[in-house]
Every structure is written in C-alpha cells, then in structure tokens.
C-alpha cells in the first residue's frame, strides 16, 4: 500500500471507518456502496470516496466496496498487523479499567505488562497481565523493547514517566494524564493524548450554547 | 459575551486555552503576550489572536492578555459557571476511575450520583458519591433533572441507557462506550464521544508510518 501525504483529518476518520467496516463485516455484509457507508457514518458519499482514494482507491464506480477487503486494507493502513506491544504505567482505577476492559488485541496491540509502585499490586496479575514495580521498567525495556507505553500515572509523575519510556525506546505514548508532554524533547516518539477534561469542556460548551 | 458562529476547530481548542491559562494563573502570571502563549501551546501568535477574536477580542496590541481575565472569559464561554450537574451510569472500573479521580468540580460540573446494577455497589458511596440502582434512574431524574449523563456502561446496554437519559431530560451525554449513539433520535441532546479505540488506532497509524 503506497501512502500519499495524508491530512490529519483523514487519519482521524480512519479508525471510524475501521469500526464501521468491522461492524458490517461481523453482520456478514459482503459489499456496500459509498452512499450506504456514508449514510451509516453521517458523512457524504463524495467525502468517503475522497478519503479512501487517498490510500489508492479501492472502490469501483457503481459497484461499491468489498467490505472484507476494505476492512483489511484500512487495518493495514492503521498498522493493526504490526504486532505492536504495549506497557501500562499506572495500575490505578483507570489503568485497571484499560487492563481489564479495553480490547487491545482486537486493535492490533499486545498488552505485555503493567507497572505500578503500590506494594499490594506489584507481583500480582490483573486480567492475566503481570504488574511489575515501576523501578524495574528500565530493566524490562532492556530485555525487550515495547512499541507503546500507556500513561495512567498520577499527574505529578507524568513527565518523568514519559521520559523513562522515551529513554527505554518506546515509539508511542498513549497519554491519559491531563499533562502536555514535552514532545520536542522526545524525538521519534509519537504522543496521542486522551484529555478527559478537554472533552468534557467541549460538551459543556455545547450544552451551554443551547441554553444561552 | 456575544458569540459569533464559531468553527468546531476553535471550540476544540478552547479547553486547551483554558488549561494553559489556568496553569499560568496558578503560577501567578498576570499578563502574557500572544506570542508567549502561542509558544507554550505550540500554535502561532496569529492563530491565537484569530481564535480569541471570535469571542470579542480581549487582547490589546503590544500589551498582551490579562491572564486572570482571559481565563475567566474562556471559562464563561465554555459554560463552566452554569452549575451543570452530572450522573454517571456504570460504576465499573472506568466509572469508578471517573468518580474517584476526575476533577468534575474544577471543570464546572457537580457529580451528584452514580447508577449501577451490581448489588455490592448499590447503596454504597464512592468518593462521597451515592451509587443508586439503575432501575431508579427515571425516578431520580423526575425529582431533579441533570445536565449530563456519563455513559460508562457495557456496550450492549449503551444505546438503551442513552435513551433513558434522553427521556429523563439530560441535555448532554459523555459517551465512553465504543458505540455510536443514535443522535438523530435524541433531539436536543449533545453527545461527546471518548473513543479509546479510535485514539489508540490513530497512535498505531502514527508509529507504523514511522517504520514503513
């Protein structure tokens, strides 16, 4: 799959495409028109044709998309077949929620370990995943590098934890702390933020606007 | 504050403005130039001036912004002073993480109750918040409507739970289930999604692109 320079807006939509195509695939649908796919996703058919054409254009005019093939192609573009490995730093409530409930493997990631400083957690397993002491992170990463580190640590240790992941060679950080990480000091590491507060404040704006 | 029609990209940036201004305010900074604010946020000064001018333009050329005032104005625009109330549906791992760790009040929301079906949770309190049985949601909303319902329920009951919130008169749904809600069937309700999978797949794309 050759990739052109793709806008970040298109990239942001790709996971949604995957999610919809995966749903359709699981219901047994074989083929879908761009207009039907558009309707189910709340987009226009021309937007869908344009988005997908960025990646080489799998659609045939008047014939629609092969659901299974398009799903696989989008998965490939998203890097879901790379055997990415994940570590979770911080096995508090949120870390535990991700460990026990988030389908990492269905998204192409293998969760190999979690790290915490809580003595009642270290040495145990959650959902089959071993919890190691944070002090052993460097040693763990020396033995086998990981693709992604998930930051679900307390705010005050967020930056320090990110640096340790960077030093240990991870290529991505999934950041759930409400802290902006010093990305310019971690060249080669991609950071994806999940800012709960920003999301709730966006909702706050929307519902307040209604009632002005 | 009179509001023009504001693009969703600007709205998405507003919570970040608030976060940065709040940090600056807490460090005691009184005044900041658009270029310094831009640098700390990774934006350009002209983008900041343009964004803030959408809301009436508080900056003075060559003089910068009053941090405290701008922070208050952004908070006002975001609806942080409306005494919004929140209910959480689903007190599993993720619900508990939000109840115990998310600073609702610092974001202008008052968390009044959580709902679950787990008999070992119903009737207890988490972080001071009462957990009621899901069956009593309608009764609770009849007694006092809530602004926002947070959906941290299992996927299979996501849509049904959203409809119950809609029927009960909430104006916003903060949706953590990986399910797209039927927004067109819930007129007047604004939905803000936190799609963990979409976020992780975006990161997957970014780190895979690096290594193509």
Average pLDDT over residues B112-123: 98
What's the confidence (pLDDT) of residue B178? 86
pLDDT(B60) > 70: no
Contact B168, B145 (CB under 8 A): yes
Burial grade of B123 (CB within 10 A; 0-12, 13-18, 19 or more): exposed
pLDDT(A3) > 60: no
Per-residue confidence band for B40, with pLDDT thresholds at 50, 70 and 90: confident
Question: 3-class secondary structure for B13-27?
Answer: HHHHHHHHHHHHHHC
Q: Which of A78, A199, A209 has the CB atom closest to B201's CB atom?
A: A78
pTM, two decimals, is 0.90
Q: Give the residue, B207 or A55, on which the prediction is more confident.
A: B207
Per CB-CB distance under 8 Å, the chain A contacts of B11 are 202, 205-206
Provide ipTM, 2 decimals: 0.92
Asked if B208 and A11 come within 8 Å (Cβ–Cβ), the reply is no
What would the DSSP string read from start to end of B89-111? Answer: E--SHHHHHHHHH--TGGGTEEE
Q: Give the residue, B13 or A152, on which the prediction is more confident.
A: A152
What's the confidence (pLDDT) of residue A27? 94
Average pLDDT, chain A: 90
Give backbone dihedrals phi and psi of A46, rounded to 5 degrees, phi first. Answer: -70, -35
Shortest Cα–Cα distance, A9 to chain B (Å): 11
Closest CA to B79 of B148, B168, B175: B148
What's the confidence (pLDDT) of residue A137? 98
What's the confidence (pLDDT) of residue B61? 63
pLDDT(A88) > 90: yes
What's the confidence (pLDDT) of residue A135? 98
Beta strand A65-66 with A31-32 is: antiparallel
Q: Which of B98, B102, B148 has the CB atom closest to A207's CB atom?
A: B148
SS3 call for A91? coil
Average pLDDT, chain B: 90
Q: Which of B97, B172, B201 has the CB atom closest to A203's CB atom?
A: B172
Flag the least confident range among A10-14, A56-60, A203-207, B172-176: A56-60
A199 to chain B, any CB pair closer than 8 A? The answer is yes
Beta strand A109-116 with A65-66 is: unpaired
Name the B residues in 78-137 with CB < 8 Å from any A CB: 78-80, 82, 84, 92-94, 96-98, 100-104, 107-109
Q: Which of B190, B194, B196 has the CB atom closest to A102's CB atom?
A: B196
pLDDT(A94) > 50: yes
What's the confidence (pLDDT) of residue B212? 45
Name the A residues in 154-193 with CB < 8 Å from any B CB: 171-172, 174, 178, 188, 190, 192
Mutation target for A interface from B179, B205, B210: give the one with most A CBs within 10 A: B205
pLDDT(A61) > 50: yes
B1 to chain A, any CB pair closer than 8 A? The answer is no
What's the confidence (pLDDT) of residue B56? 62
Average pLDDT over residues A77-85: 94
Per-residue confidence band for B112, with pLDDT thresholds at 50, 70 and 90: very high
Per-residue confidence band for B2, with pLDDT thresholds at 50, 70 and 90: very low
Per-residue confidence band for B1, with pLDDT thresholds at 50, 70 and 90: very low
Q: Which of A77, A197, A204 has the CB atom closest to B205's CB atom?
A: A77
Flag the least confident range among A45-54, A98-107, B151-160, B184-193: A45-54
SS3 call for B45? helix
Give backbone dihedrals phi and psi of B3, rounded to 5 degrees, phi first. Answer: -110, 130
What's the confidence (pLDDT) of residue B48? 86
Lookup: tokens for A203: 């909702």
Average pLDDT over residues A56-82: 83
Shortest Cα–Cα distance, A62 to chain B (Å): 28
Per CB-CB distance under 8 Å, the chain A contacts of B14 are 201-202, 205
Asked if A15 and B198 come within 8 Å (Cβ–Cβ), the reply is yes
B208 to chain A, any CB pair closer than 8 A? The answer is yes
pLDDT(B147) > 70: yes
Per CB-CB distance under 8 Å, the chain A contacts of B100 are 93
Asked if B15 and A178 come within 8 Å (Cβ–Cβ), the reply is no
pLDDT(A63) > 80: no
Q: Which ranges of B78-187 does DSSP label H, i.e. alpha helix?
A: 93-101, 137-143, 158-167
Beta strand A65-66 with A125-126 is: unpaired
CB pairs under 8 A between A and B: 182
């Amino acid at each position: 799959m050759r990739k052109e320079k793709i806008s970040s807006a298109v990239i942001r939509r790709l996971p949604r495409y995957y999610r919809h195509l995966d749903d359709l695939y699981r219901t047994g649908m074989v083929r879908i028109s761009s207009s039907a796919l558009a309707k189910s996703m709340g987009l226009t058919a021309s937007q869908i044709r344009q988005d997908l054409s960025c990646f080489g254009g799998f659609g045939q005019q008047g014939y629609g998309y092969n659901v299974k093939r398009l799903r696989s192609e989008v998965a490939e573009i998203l890097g879901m077949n790379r055997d990415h490995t994940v570590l979770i730093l911080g096995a508090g409530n949120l870390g535990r929620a991700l460990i026990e409930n988030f389908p990492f493997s269905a998204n192409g990631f293998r969760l190999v370990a979690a790290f915490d400083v809580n003595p009642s957690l270290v040495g145990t397993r959650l959902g089959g995943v071993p919890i190691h002491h944070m002090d052993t992170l460097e040693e763990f990463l020396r033995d086998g590098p990981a693709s992604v580190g998930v930051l679900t640590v307390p705010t005050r240790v967020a930056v320090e934890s990110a640096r340790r992941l960077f030093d240990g060679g991870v290529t991505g950080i999934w950041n759930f702390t409400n802290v902006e990480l010093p990305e310019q000091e971690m060249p080669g590491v991609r950071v994806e933020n999940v800012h709960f507060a920003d999301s709730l404040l966006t909702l706050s704006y929307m519902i307040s606007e209604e009632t002005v």
